[in-house]
Amino acid sequence: MPNSWQTALCSAFWAFFLIGSLLVAFHHQSTVSGFAEAPFAVHVESETADVVEDPIYQARFVSDGLTRLVHAATAVQRPDGAIQAFWFGGSREGHADVRIFTATFDPDMQRWTDEAPLLSRQETARAERRHVRKLGNPVAAVDSQGRILLFFVSVSFGGWSGSSINLVVSEDNGQTWSKPRQLITSPFLNVSTLVKGPVVQHDDGTMGLPVYHEFLGKFSEYLHLDGQGRVLGKSRVSHGRFAIQPVVFPLGEQHAVALMRNTDSDRPRRAWTSRTNDGGRTWSVPERTKIMNGNTALGGTLSGTMGDVNILLTAANVTEYNRSSLALLRSTDQGRDWAVVYDVEPHQPSLSQEEFSEAVTRKTPVSEEDMPLTPETVAAAATEIQCEPGRPVCDFRFDYPWLLKDAQGRYHLFYTWNRAFIRHLTFNSAWLKFRPDQPLEDRAYQGDEP
């Protein structure tokens, strides 16, 4: 009898959950305001126009090595001009000791502040009066009022499929923050919603938050939020189990394109794309792009315009199987075709522990701004986490990119560097303009099949 009651209760629970999910999945608003004009999108006169600014390309470390693992960086330019980054760190991904960390880059001093913890699962649990097992991806944004919004993932039970989204807000350039509060994105248990991609601004002050699910499917959605982070509506960007972590590029008042991480094991393993012509209210059936994607996240930003053409920029692991390289890609036809413009991290083969440590020490520049980090301490941290016990080789890993364009027209690329540090690259249009396009079809390395 107890088993019968348990079975009945379990069946009823899943029935309610599925019905609720379907109701929310098809909760479309009758109208949605248009996308706000992309901030800092500059007009490029021509590919041969005189370069006003000298080319700039700089690399730094953001994190200080306080935690064994770091991951999932996000960043914004604050109203005061500084760049503030956030990420999660701990002994390992999904562990109870994971916290959200932050650091600030002063563009005048060209230095990062020391990293500092911002949020913990215990603080989140106390504020929301619920059990929190672990924290995950953060996503930062600046709203139309100049407030910094930090969305982040928490899990109360199970794995990432049991996630929910939380929000903290700063009204003083990141000096103080509100208490965490949970967003209501699903009618039953409010689970299985995660964030990764940048927030999209709408012209009435509302926001679009790209999200994804990993429970009873792996699919993408677009949440329409008011200024307080309340869900006004949501639309499904993909269905099934093959496309998550959408990055949305607004192309006009009502038009946008989304790039999505591939979770399909079938070949060809490629990133997915979907389009909206009504401000994110509805989305087209996803299609495969030509970007190789072996279940890895993408980052992206609107670079600018050339005539009436939008220039899109994305960072991705352009392989089918691993994360041993990271490339910068550009599109001039609204995301239909892409070309590699620079190998941020060229492919590195698997190496023995000694070879790996030597390669990191030799190939990774550590600047004065990175002190007290040294090539030796950086190599030791990367070796400790990438050279897993029992494996004869160590693998390089560069993933979870985040792209930001600031008010001065400079680009900031953040990514997880060998799971040990957050890496920050700065470059400008003068450097980017004359990078030659390399067709994706010419890429020789597609990843080592496991």
To the nearest 10°, report the CA torsion of 124, 299, 312, 228.
Answer: -10
Instruction: Give Cα separations from 278 to 84, 256, 257, 284, 420 (angstroms).
Output: 32, 9, 11, 11, 41
Q: What is the pTM of this model?
A: 0.91
Q: Cis omega before residue 55 (within 30°)? A: no
In a domain, 307, yes or no: yes
Residue 340 has pLDDT above 90, yes or no: yes
Does residue 162 sit within a domain? yes
User: CA-CA distance, 374 to 367, in Å (whole number)?
Assistant: 8
Name the more confident of 3 and 388: 388
The CATH number of whichever domain residue 152 belongs to comes to 2.120.10.10
What is the average pLDDT across 327-337? 95
- Looking at per-residue pLDDT, the higher value among 408 and 272 belongs to 272
Domain with 88 in it: 39-348+396-439
Q: Is residue 244 part of a domain?
A: yes
In a domain, 21, yes or no: no
pLDDT, the chain, mean: 88
- Between β-strands 231-236 and 243-250, what pairing exists: parallel, antiparallel or unpaired? unpaired
Summarised one tens digit per residue, pLDDT across range 200-233 is 999 999 999 999 998 888 999 999 999 888 999 9
User: Residue 435, class by beta-carbon neighbours within 10 Å (0-12 exposed, 13-18 middle, 19+ buried)?
Assistant: middle
* DSSP string covering 171-231: SSTTSS-PPPEE----SSTT-S-EE-SPPEEBTTS-EEEEEEE-SSSBEEEEEEE-TTS-E
Count: domains in the chain: 1
Average pLDDT score over residue span 32-50? 55
Predicted confidence band of residue 42 (pLDDT cuts 50, 70, 90): very low
Q: DSSP labels for 355-401?
A: HHHHHHHHH----GGGTT--HHHHHHHHHHHHS-TT-SSB---EEEE
Query: Does residue 72 lie in a domain region?
Result: yes
Tokens, residue 269: 């393993």
**Assigned domain for 105 exists:** yes
Both tokens assigned to 258: 């989304």
Q: How many CB atoms lie within 10 A of CB 349?
A: 12
Mean pLDDT across the stretch 9-29?
47
Q: How many Cβ atoms are within 10 Å of 437's Cβ, its own excluded? A: 14
Average pLDDT over residues 344-350: 93
pLDDT of residue 311 exceeding 80, the answer is yes
379, part of any domain: no
| pLDDT tens profile 74-87 | 999 999 999 999 99
CA distances from 78 to 38, 160, 243, 297, 406 (A): 16, 30, 31, 25, 9
Q: What is the pLDDT of residues 359-412, one digit of tens each?
A: 999 988 888 888 889 999 999 999 999 998 888 899 999 999 999 999 999 999
Q: Does residue 28 register a pLDDT over 60? A: no
**12 domain residue, yes or no:** no
More confident residue, 278 or 157: 278
Q: What is the percent of the chain with per-residue pLDDT over 70, rounded to a whole number?
A: 86
